[in-house]
């Protein structure tokens, strides 16, 4: 048990498992693709749909729900509500931020292309073609984004560094605080892809010196696809003009949302990151993730991180003991909720080029385990609804598979 978690915390985690129907049907270890829907989120969605069907939706209440969810997400990452915009996904958040910056031809952005998700690659190449900026890329080191490599690439023309806090595979944690301090000192903006970290890792955007952070809601935030958040530090946001201007991106000064006022003559941008909001919101998805955010905040983000990463650590150690190649070996104190298994980082997703790993994947899925394959590695990812029984079940299956394989080789 980690020092942060006493028995009462563990009992709370045990109780909330009952509120995830998908947790009862076998080990669900695939939050890195998408999380299980929590029944509180389902109730919020159902209530919205019932009102929609009955013709009783109330726009004022819907706006109140939007502001409530904005404030909940802000408190999860320790920001102000004015620093949060609603987006469709991580790509949208990164692209919105990137396209709203005052680039000059010859400026550059630094990324570790070989480990980043396409969500944090294509937006920069799009800007490169359109505006003549350069994408400077840094190679990975044994599955880690190298902090020293990133720092070495920053030069006088670097405007932005874009990095994921946790990679989608092999799922290692990046030292965001160290990079944040250095970027701030050098006057370079830091944007973080929080797809894999937000909802599991305790995150304080101010302490990390992060200027912008993009998240989507279908993974550890236990919401729906097609919905995301963009944090932009207020001082940075207020120096930017949004790439799309919308009625929710301007200060309506108390006017009805359908009123454009005298837009041609003048308009005032909304405060902070609110200027990046575009048109009507995805109300049902916002209400659903609002319920999940309440649950995460009730549990406490430090406790969530300790519990979930603790499960992943126990699992990784069990896999090593069972003779499997956990990528990176036994996890250290900075392990995450993601454990990948396989010999080398490749390029295949959804099927592994390594025959052993493909066989093991087929065996586990046939026995009701839900997991993923990314970059040729089996990917097991944990969240608040998992428990030790899930770990024991998978380890038991792995031992059965290993024994059957040694019999067939003998």
Ligand X SMILES: Cc1ncc(COP(=O)(O)O)c(C=O)c1O
Q: Rounded to an integer, what distance in angstroms lies between the CA atom of residue 143 and that of residue 170? A: 6
The one among 74, 195, 309, 352 contacting ligand X by CB under 6 A: 195
x/- string (CB under 6 A) for ligand X, residues 78-117? -----------xxx-------------------------x
Residue 315, CA atoms < 13 Å, CB-side half-sphere: 32
Residue 124, phi then psi, degrees to nearest 5: -75, -40
The one among 30, 82, 107, 193 contacting ligand X by CB under 6 A: 193
Q: Rounded to an integer, what distance in angstroms lies between the CA atom of residue 289 and that of residue 234? A: 23
Measure the CA angle with vertex 352, ends 227 and 136; round to 5°: 60
User: HEC states along 225-270?
Assistant: CCCEEEEECHHHHCCCCCCCCCHHHECCCCCCCCCCCCCCCCCCEC
Cβ closest to ligand X, residue 48 vs residue 174: 174
Distance in Å, CB of 6 to ligand X, minimum: 32
Return the range that interacts with ligand X (CB under 6 A); candidates 103-111, 188-196, 257-265, 269-277: 188-196
Cβ closest to ligand X, residue 119 vs residue 224: 119
Cβ closest to ligand X, residue 123 vs residue 331: 123
State yes or no: residue 140 binds ligand X (CB under 6 A): no
Cβ closest to ligand X, residue 31 vs residue 395: 31
Angle between helical axes of 7-17 and 301-321 (0-180°, round to 10):
80
Cβ closest to ligand X, residue 81 vs residue 228: 228
Angle between helical axes of 90-99 and 122-131 (0-180°, round to 10):
30
State yes or no: residue 164 binds ligand X (CB under 6 A): yes
Distance in Å, CB of 201 to ligand X, minimum: 13
Distance in Å, CB of 97 to ligand X, minimum: 13
Contacts of residue 188, defined as CB under 8 A and 6 or more positions apart, other chains included, come to 154, 158, 159, 160, 161
Q: Residue numbers of the site for ligand X (CB under 6 A)?
A: 89-91, 117, 119, 164, 168, 193, 195-196, 216, 228
């Amino acid at each position: 048990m980690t020092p942060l978690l006493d028995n009462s915390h563990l009992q709370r985690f045990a109780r909330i498992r009952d509120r995830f129907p998908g947790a009862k049907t076998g080990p669900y270890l695939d939050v890195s693709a998408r999380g299980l829907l929590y029944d509180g989120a389902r109730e919020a969605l159902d209530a919205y749909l019932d009102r929609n069907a009955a013709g009783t939706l109330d726009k004022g209440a819907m706006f109140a729900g939007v502001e409530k969810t904005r404030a909940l997400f802000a408190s999860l990452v320790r920001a102000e509500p004015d620093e949060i915009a609603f987006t469709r996904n991580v790509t949208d958040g990164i692209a919105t931020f990137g396209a709203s910056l005052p680039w000059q031809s010859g400026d550059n952005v630094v990324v570790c292309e070989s480990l980043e998700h396409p969500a944090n690659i294509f937006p920069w190449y799009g800007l490169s073609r359109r505006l003549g900026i350069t994408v400077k890329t840094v190679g990975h080191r044994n599955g880690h984004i190298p902090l020293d490599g990133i720092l070495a690439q920053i030069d006088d023309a670097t405007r932005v560094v874009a990095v994921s806090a946790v990679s989608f595979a092999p799922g290692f944690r990046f030292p965001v605080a160290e990079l944040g301090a250095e970027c701030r000192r050098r006057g370079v903006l830091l944007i973080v892809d929080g797809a894999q970290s937000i909802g599991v890792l305790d995150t304080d955007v101010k302490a990390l010196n992060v200027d912008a952070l993009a998240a989507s809601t279908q993974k550890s935030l236990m919401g729906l696809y097609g919905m995301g958040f963009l944090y932009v530090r207020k001082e940075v946001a207020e120096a930017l003009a949004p790439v799309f201007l919308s009625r929710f991106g301007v200060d309506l000064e108390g006017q009805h949302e359908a009123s454009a006022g005298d837009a041609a003559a003048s308009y005032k941008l909304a405060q902070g990151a609110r200027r990046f909001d575009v048109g009507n919101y995805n109300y049902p998805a916002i209400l659903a993730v609002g319920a999940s955010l309440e649950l995460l905040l009730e549990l406490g983000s430090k406790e969530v991180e300790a519990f979930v990463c603790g499960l992943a650590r126990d699992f990784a150690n069990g896999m090593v003991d069972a003779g499997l190649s956990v990528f990176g070996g036994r996890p250290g104190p900075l392990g995450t909720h993601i454990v990948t298994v396989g010999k080398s980082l490749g390029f295949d997703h959804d099927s592994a080029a390594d025959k052993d790993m493909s066989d093991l994947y087929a065996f586990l899925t046939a026995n009701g385990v839900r997991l993923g394959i990314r970059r040729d590695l089996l990917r097991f990812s944990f969240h608040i609804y998992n428990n030790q029984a899930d770990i024991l079940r998978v380890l038991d299956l792995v031992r059965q598979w290993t024994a059957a394989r040694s019999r067939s080789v003998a």
